[in-house]
Amino acid sequence: MNSGHTQTEAYRTGLFGPYALWFTTGSAPSSSVIDPTFWEGLGINGLVPKASRGRVTGKASGIPSSFSSLQVVGFSNSAAQYWVRTDSSGSFTSPYMKPGTYTMTLYKSEYAVATQSVSVSAGSVVTSNIASQEANPTAIWQIGDFDGTPRGFLNADPGTLDDLNLNSPSDSRMSSWGPGEKHIFIVQGLCSYKISVTFNVGSSTNSFPMAIFKAVGAVTIRFSLSSSQIGARTLQIGTTNAFAGGRPVVQVNSWNSAIPAIPNQPDSRGVTRGTWRGNNIMYTYNIPSGTLVSGTNTIVVSVASGSSGDGFL
Express each pLDDT in 279-297 by its tens digit.
999 999 999 999 999 999 9
Quick: pLDDT tens for 94-139: 999 999 999 999 999 999 999 999 999 999 999 999 999 999 889 9
Q: How many CA atoms lie within 13 A of 62 on its CB side?
A: 14
Percent of all residues in the chain with a pLDDT value above 70, rounded to a whole number? 83
Task: Look at residue 3 in the predicted model and tell me its pLDDT.
Answer: 66
Residue 185 · residue 313 · CB < 8 Å: yes
Quick: pLDDT tens for 22-73: 888 888 777 677 777 888 889 888 889 999 999 999 999 999 998 988 999 9
Query: pLDDT confidence of 306, banded at 50, 70, 90?
Result: low
Asked whether the predicted pLDDT for residue 265 surpasses 60, the reply is: yes
Question: What values do phi and psi take at 213, rounded to 5?
Answer: -110, 130
Mean pLDDT of 178-188: 39
Asked whether the predicted pLDDT for residue 161 surpasses 80, the reply is: no
- 296 vs 207, which has greater pLDDT? 296
Query: pLDDT confidence of 158, banded at 50, 70, 90?
Result: very low
Residue 170 CB contacts under 8 Å (≥ 6 apart), including other chains: 183, 184, 185, 186, 187, 313
Task: Look at residue 116 in the predicted model and tell me its pLDDT.
Answer: 98
Neighbouring CB atoms inside 10 A of 275's CB total: 18
* Rg from Cα positions in the chain: 23
Task: Look at residue 7 in the predicted model and tell me its pLDDT.
Answer: 83
Mean pLDDT across the chain, nearest whole number? Answer: 84
Asked whether the predicted pLDDT for residue 189 surpasses 50, the reply is: no
Asked whether the predicted pLDDT for residue 192 surpasses 60, the reply is: no
Q: Can you say how many angstroms the Cα of residue 40 is from the centroid of all Cα atoms in its chain? A: 37
Neighbouring CB atoms inside 10 A of 51's CB total: 10
Q: What angle do CA 73, 82, 42 make, to 5 degrees?
A: 155
Query: What's the N-to-C CA distance of the chain in angstroms?
Result: 23
Task: Look at residue 2 in the predicted model and tell me its pLDDT.
Answer: 58
Percent of all residues in the chain with a pLDDT value above 90, rounded to a whole number? 50
Instruction: Sort strands 55-61 and 130-131 into parallel, antiparallel or unpaired.
Output: parallel
Q: Quick one: 289 exposed, middle or buried, by C-beta within 10 A (0-12, 13-18, 19+)?
A: exposed
- pTM for this model (two decimals): 0.83
Q: Quick one: 233 exposed, middle or buried, by C-beta within 10 A (0-12, 13-18, 19+)?
A: middle
Residue 31 · residue 74 · CB < 8 Å: no
Asked whether the predicted pLDDT for residue 164 surpasses 70, the reply is: no
